Amino acid sequence: MQFGSMGRGDYYASPFGIAYSTYMERPRLSGLVAWLVWGGDVRPYYESMAAIAKAAPDSTIVDCPCGAGPALRALRPGQGIRYVAVDLSPSMLRRARRRVDRRDLQGVELLHADAARIPLPAESADLFLSYWGLHCFPDPPAALAEAARILRPGGRLVGAALVKGRDNLRQRLLIRPWRGDFGRVGTAAEVSDWLEAAGFADPQIERSGPMLFFAAQLPSRDRENPG
């Protein structure tokens, strides 16, 4: 995950960062943590990674924030795609690099960058992954607008985030905006509004406890110019 320009240093260069990276790379352990801590089902997150495996050869995927690279599990050897993993945490990028090297993955690039200022050209990606970052960012709408800028017309966004609202006391105590690794934390309705404001059409939203899973697509060129 990353924080935008929040001046907190590398929050994930810590025992918490090591623990977080460890369980996120293990779906069963992650599922147990999600149930015990958040009271939700994290399986839709791992299931959504099927979009990576389905990506056509020569397509480009941007994974921001990439964390330690748990989504790389869905990248097939010899798939022939460009995979750009972006994070603001140097420690997370080092862990992602080790994962890439262990699996001998080809076509993976790691970038140290802010989610709202990714050094990629406009309309250069086919799929954008936004996993567990929105609730960390100081300006989530700006991050989603950046994803829309980078995606080609018809490009798809897939993501997950923690949200406020409809929570029990424990979740309200755990999700505290501007504390720990949290930035501006939105509600499910706000995330939907942010997606639409960025230009994404017909957002698909699924919630489990405070965990929100979302997918959306930019209009294709034909829809933009029906005439």
As for how many domains the chain has, the answer is 1
Q: Is residue 45 in some structural domain?
A: yes
Q: Is residue 217 in some structural domain?
A: yes
**How far is CA 134 from its chain centroid?**
8
pLDDT value at residue 222 = 73
* pLDDT, tens only, 10-50: 888 888 888 999 899 999 999 999 999 998 999 999 999 99
Q: How confident is the model at residue 54 (pLDDT cuts 50, 70, 90)?
A: very high
**60-74, 126-140, 169-183, range with the lowest pLDDT:** 169-183
How far is residue 3's CA from residue 52's CA, in Å, rounded to a whole number? 24
82-87 vs 108-112, strand pairing mode: parallel
Q: Is residue 117 in some structural domain?
A: yes
How far is residue 41's CA from residue 32's CA, in Å, rounded to a whole number? 9
Does residue 73 register a pLDDT over 80? yes
Does residue 8 register a pLDDT over 60? no
Q: Is residue 9 in some structural domain?
A: no
3-state percent helix, strand, coil for the chain, nearest multiple of 5: 35, 25, 40
CATH number at residue 88: 3.40.50.150
Q: Is residue 1 in some structural domain?
A: no
How far is residue 130's CA from residue 161's CA, in Å, rounded to a whole number? 8
* pLDDT, tens only, 157-191: 999 999 998 667 777 788 988 988 899 999 999 99
27: helix, strand or coil = helix
211-217 vs 108-112, strand pairing mode: unpaired
Domain that holds residue 33: 15-224
How far is residue 159's CA from residue 207's CA, in Å, rounded to a whole number? 12
Q: Is residue 6 in some structural domain?
A: no
How far is residue 63's CA from residue 43's CA, in Å, rounded to a whole number? 19
**Does the global pTM surpass 0.85?**
yes
Q: Is residue 2 in some structural domain?
A: no
Question: In terms of pLDDT, which residue wins out, 108 or 171?
Answer: 108
How far is residue 157's CA from residue 127's CA, in Å, rounded to a whole number? 6
Q: Which residues of 197-213 are buried (b: 16+ CB within 10 A; e: fewer)?
A: ebbbeebeeebbbbbbb
